[in-house]
């Protein structure tokens, strides 16, 4: 056989991978330990040593989410795969799904619900705000949803959605509480069990400082009961939580082959969880909260206005800044990128209005923050960033 498509010339050269300061909304920079954790030989996906690493990750994820839920594992996919695993398992065709939509993640959850044939209802809120308990109670009483979706860390606006008191309203009305913590976990308080959260997922490339690839997830007993009583199977085998729960040893049964686990990614997740366990999750959160006050003060001192007006709603790991009038937002980003510093523009409806600066995990550091503020100030207020 002579192949008719020739080998691509471009693959003869090595890739160009410059070292950058990643202060966008993720991926963040890896620590030395996490980066090198992947430089290890592969194991089989059911080898005893790999099963031990999975078990280590499982308890690490329980620690991260502050939960004793047995059905806790990592989906083999990025953060959005976590959302799909949650929604596809918790709901079935025709059931009502209530989504708090205060940015892009609620929009995505609602879109996914429609794809799955759910009865999707939304509570739509202005960007930069969060739902009050009264708004939530009204929505739940009106729609009687099976599941309520809240994004804890709305990375398109920089809002940390308050979670206290919500599960009580949900559970009084037969609703499960689903929380997206992709951009918040480890950066602000989250205690799944104390908050009564029924399903929570996150991703590895934000506060965890690991490469994107896995979505830690956890289901409460109430959630498991709902899943076990489904009339139809989960539409996806890949995201089937009970199958994944078996593979991740959540039920104490012998592990069955489900899919080939992402060996190297799981190594990096373990390293990330070990780093958090070492610092202590409460110390990690405290560090983010202290540093963000410093960062916001520095930004305001430099003449910037923060997008989220209510201080209590600001995410301690992702800051949104109003693009000053007359400034070309993209030119500023490009100037920083030329210095190998990434910050990001808005996403969805905030595009063009804001900049987003992630200070996740090891990037929540006062020295790094000083440099960012200084670079942002220079890039913004130099002559050629003005709108023509």
> Which residue numbers belong to the known binding site for substrate?
356
Whole-Å CA distances, 248 to 65, 204, 277: 17, 17, 20
Q: How far is CA 61 from the centre of its chain?
A: 14
Q: What string of H, E and C letters represents the secondary structure of 58-121?
A: HHHHHHHHCCCCCEEEEECCCHHHHHHHHHHHHCCCCCEEEEEECCHHHHHHHHHHHHCCCEEE
Which of the ranges 64-72, 142-150, 159-167, 364-372 carries the binding residues for a copy of itself, by CB under 8 A?
A: 64-72
Does the protein bind a copy of itself through residue 43 (CB under 8 A)?
A: yes
In the complex, what is the shortest distance from the CB of residue 144 to a copy of itself, in angstroms, rounded to a whole number?
24
Q: Which stretch binds a copy of itself (CB under 8 A): 53-61, 216-224, 324-332, 365-373?
A: 53-61
Q: Which two tokens mark 203?
A: 């991703």
Show contacts with a copy of itself in window 296-355 (CB under 8 A).
Answer: 337, 342, 347
Considering the rule CB under 8 A, would residue 24 count as an interface residue with a copy of itself? yes
Nearest distance in Å: CB 87, a copy of itself: 10
Per rule CB under 8 A, is residue 383 in the interface with a copy of itself?
no
Binding mask 122-161 for a copy of itself (x = CB under 8 A): ----------------------------------------
Half-sphere exposure of 62 (CA within 13 A, CB side): 15
Q: Which segment (133-141, 145-153, 261-269, 305-313) binds a copy of itself by CB under 8 A?
A: 261-269
The whole-angstrom separation of Cα 74 and Cα 116 is 22
Alpha carbons 54 and 207: distance in angstroms, whole number: 20
Q: Is 311 in a helix, a strand, or coil?
A: helix
**Member of 270, 314, 335, 356 binding a copy of itself (CB under 8 A):** 270
**How many Cβ atoms from other residues are within 10 Å of residue 307's Cβ?**
22
| Nearest to a copy of itself of 131, 341 (CB atom) | 341
Cα angle 358, 359, 362 (rounded to 5 degrees) comes to: 135
Q: Is 177 in contact with 77 (CB distance < 8 Å)?
A: no
Span of 130-138, 165-173, 216-224, 227-235 interacting with a copy of itself by CB under 8 A: 227-235
CB of residue 261 to a copy of itself, shortest distance in Å: 7
Q: Per CB under 8 A, does 2 bind a copy of itself?
A: yes
Single residue of 119, 138, 238, 302 touching a copy of itself by CB under 8 A: 238
Stretch that binds a copy of itself, among 105-113, 124-132, 135-143, 163-171 (CB under 8 A): 105-113
Residue from the set 183, 285, 336, 369 that interacts with a copy of itself by CB under 8 A: 285
**3-class DSSP state of 325:** coil
Asked if 35 is part of the footprint of a copy of itself (rule: CB under 8 A), the reply reads yes
Element containing residue 170 per DSSP (H, E): helix 166-172
- Does residue 234 interact with a copy of itself by CB under 8 A? yes
Report how far residue 158's alpha carbon sits from residue 357's, in angstroms, rounded to the nearest whole number. Answer: 9
Nearest alpha-carbon partner for 268 in 315, 216, 325, 193: 216
CA dihedral sign of residues 47, 49, 53, 59: positive
Relative to beta strand 176-180, strand 147-151 is parallel
Q: Per-residue x/- mask for a copy of itself, residues 177 to 206, rule CB under 8 A?
A: ------------x-x-xx--------x-x-
Give the nearest distance from C-beta 384 to a copy of itself in angstroms.
20
Span of 34-42, 133-141, 159-167, 297-305 interacting with a copy of itself by CB under 8 A: 34-42
Q: Is 49 in the site for a copy of itself (CB under 8 A)?
A: yes
Of 365, 377, 313, 371, the C-alpha closest to 340 is: 371
**Is residue 267 a contact point for a copy of itself (CB under 8 A)?**
yes
Question: Could you say which of 78, 220, 319, 363 contacts a copy of itself (CB under 8 A)?
Answer: 78
């Amino acid at each position: 056989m002579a192949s008719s498509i020739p080998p691509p010339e471009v693959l003869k050269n090595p890739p160009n991978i410059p070292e950058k300061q990643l202060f966008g909304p993720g991926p963040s920079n890896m620590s030395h330990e996490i980066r090198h954790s992947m430089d290890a030989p592969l194991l089989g996906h059911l080898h005893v040593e790999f099963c031990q690493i999975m078990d280590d990750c499982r308890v690490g994820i329980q620690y991260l989410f502050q939960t004793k839920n047995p059905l806790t594992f990592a989906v083999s996919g990025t953060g959005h795969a976590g959302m799909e695993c949650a929604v596809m398992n918790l709901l079935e065709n025709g059931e009502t799904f209530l989504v708090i939509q205060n940015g892009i993640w609620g929009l995505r959850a609602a879109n996914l619900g429609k794809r799955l044939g759910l009865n999707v209802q939304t509570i739509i809120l202005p960007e930069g705000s969060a739902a009050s308990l009264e708004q939530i109670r009204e929505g739940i009483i009106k729609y009687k949803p099976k599941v309520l979706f809240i994004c804890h860390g709305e990375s398109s606006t920089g809002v940390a959605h308050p979670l206290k008191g919500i599960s009580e309203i949900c559970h009084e009305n037969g609703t499960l509480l689903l929380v997206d913590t992709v951009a918040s976990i480890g950066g602000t308080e989250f205690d799944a069990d104390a908050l009564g959260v029924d399903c929570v997922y996150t991703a590895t490339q934000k506060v965890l400082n690991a490469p994107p690839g896995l979505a830690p997830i956890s289901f409460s007993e109430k959630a498991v009961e709902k899943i076990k009583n489904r009339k139809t199977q989960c539409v996806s085998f890949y995201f089937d939580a009970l199958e994944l729960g078996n593979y991740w040893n959540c039920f104490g049964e012998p592990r069955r082959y489900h899919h080939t686990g992402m060996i190297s990614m799981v190594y990096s997740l373990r390293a990330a969880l070990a780093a958090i366990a070492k610092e202590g999750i409460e110390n990690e959160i405290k560090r983010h909260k202290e540093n963000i006050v410093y960062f916001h003060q520095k930004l305001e001192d430099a003449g910037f206005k923060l997008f989220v007006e209510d201080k209590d709603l600001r995410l301690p790991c992702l800051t949104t800044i109003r693009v000053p009038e007359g400034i070309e937002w993209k030119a500023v980003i490009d100037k920083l990128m030329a210095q190998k510093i990434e910050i990001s523009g808005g996403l969805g409806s905030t595009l063009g209005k804001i900049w987003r600066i992630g200070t996740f995990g090891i990037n929540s550091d006062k020295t790094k923050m000083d440099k960012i503020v200084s670079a942002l100030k220079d890039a913004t207020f130099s002559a050629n960033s003005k709108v023509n």
